[in-house]
A and B are shown apart, each in its own frame.
Chain A
Amino acid sequence: AQTVTQSQPEMSVQEAETVTLSCTYDTSENNYYLFWYKQPPSRQMILVIRQEAYKQQNATENRFSVNFQKAAKSFSLKISDSQLGDTAMYFCAFMKRRSNYGQNFVFGPGTRLSVLP
C-alpha cells in the first residue's frame, strides 16, 4: 500500500516571500503520478501541479514548482512570491499509473499554509 506523509501540519510565510512544503511517500511502484492540491477555506480542491514519475524534469506552473527526488521518494512544493490568496490547506497526493481502470489518489494529511500581510 502507498502512504503519503506531510511532516509540516502548519506553516506561515510573509507575503511576497518563498515557502517550501514537504512531502514524502512510500511505494513499490515505478510508474506513478504525484500531485499538489490546494483547498482554500471555501473547500474546493484545486489542482496546483502534477508530476509524472518517469519525467526527470521538475514540473512548474507559474509561481509554483516542485523538487521531485524519485530515489528519495520526496516531492516538495515551492511557492514563490507568496500571495494572500495562497492561504489554504495543501495536500500532496499519489496515484499509481496502471492500466486497470481502477486507480485512486492517496492523500497526505495536509499542510495548513497561512500567508501573512
Chain B
Amino acid sequence: DAGVTQSPTHLIKTRGQQVTLRCSPKSGHDTVSWYQQALGQGPQFIFQYYEEEERQRGNFPDRFSGHQFPNYSSELNVNALLLGDSALYLCASSLAIQGVQETQYFGPGTRLLVL
C-alpha cells in the first residue's frame, strides 16, 4: 500500500522565481492538504483540495495556488518566491466520508530553499 509521496525532495530557487511541488495521495484517499513548516515550528495550513476544488484556505497570499487532478494527485505552485518561503512543504492526504475528513497522513515533504 503506497503512502503519500512528494516530489522533489529538495529544491533550490532564487527570489522571484516560481516553483511547483507535487503530491500523490495514499491509495484510496481523495483529499489533499498542503502545509508549510518553517524550521523549528509546527506546520501551517495552506489549503485543501477535494473533487478538484479548493475547499478551504489558510492565511497565505494568492502567490500560493494549487490544483488537484482527476487521479487525486495535487500540485502546489508558488509564484514570485520570497526568502521567507524557504520551508518544508508537507502534503497530507485523507478520505472524505460523507463530507467529513478522516485522519490525515503525511508525505515526507519537499524542502524548499530560496536564495
Q: Do A and B come from one complex?
A: yes
Q: Does B74 contact A (CB under 8 A)?
A: no
Task: State the Cβ distance, B99 to closest chain A Cβ, in Å.
Answer: 4
Q: How many residues of A contact B (CB 8 A)?
A: 27
Given contacts A101-B55, A108-B42, is CB(A44)–CB(B106) below 8 Å? Answer: yes
Instruction: Check B41 against A109 for contact (C-beta < 8 Å).
Output: yes
Interface residues of A (CB under 8 A from B): 4, 33, 35, 37, 42-47, 50, 91, 95, 97-110
Given contacts A44-B106, A91-B42, A106-B45, is CB(A101)–CB(B96) below 8 Å? Answer: yes
Tell me the total A-B contact number using a CB cutoff of 8 A.
69
Q: Give B34-61 as 1s and 0s: 1 = Cβ < 8 Å from A's Cβ atoms.
A: 0100001111110010110001101000
Instruction: Check B105 against A47 for contact (C-beta < 8 Å).
Output: yes
Instruction: Check A109 against B103 for contact (C-beta < 8 Å).
Output: no
Instruction: Check A110 against B99 for contact (C-beta < 8 Å).
Output: no
Instruction: Check A104 against B33 for contact (C-beta < 8 Å).
Output: yes
Instruction: Check B88 against A105 for contact (C-beta < 8 Å).
Output: no
Instruction: Check B98 against A99 for contact (C-beta < 8 Å).
Output: yes
Interface centre among A37, A47, A102 (most CB of B within 10 A): A102
Q: How many residues of B contact A (CB 8 A)?
A: 30
Q: What 19 additional pairs, Cβ within 8 angstroms, besides A91-B43, A101-B101, A105-B35?
A: A35-B103, A37-B106, A42-B108, A47-B103, A95-B101, A95-B104, A98-B99, A99-B100, A100-B55, A101-B96, A103-B48, A103-B56, A104-B56, A105-B33, A105-B43, A105-B45, A106-B45, A107-B42, A110-B42
Q: Give B64-102 as 1s and 0s: 1 = Cβ < 8 Å from A's Cβ atoms.
A: 000000000000000000000000101010001011110
26 residue pairs bridging A and B, Cβ less than 8 Å apart? A4-B42, A35-B103, A37-B106, A43-B88, A43-B108, A43-B109, A44-B107, A44-B109, A45-B109, A47-B105, A50-B103, A91-B42, A97-B100, A98-B99, A98-B100, A99-B99, A101-B50, A101-B55, A102-B48, A102-B56, A103-B100, A103-B101, A104-B45, A105-B35, A110-B40, A110-B42
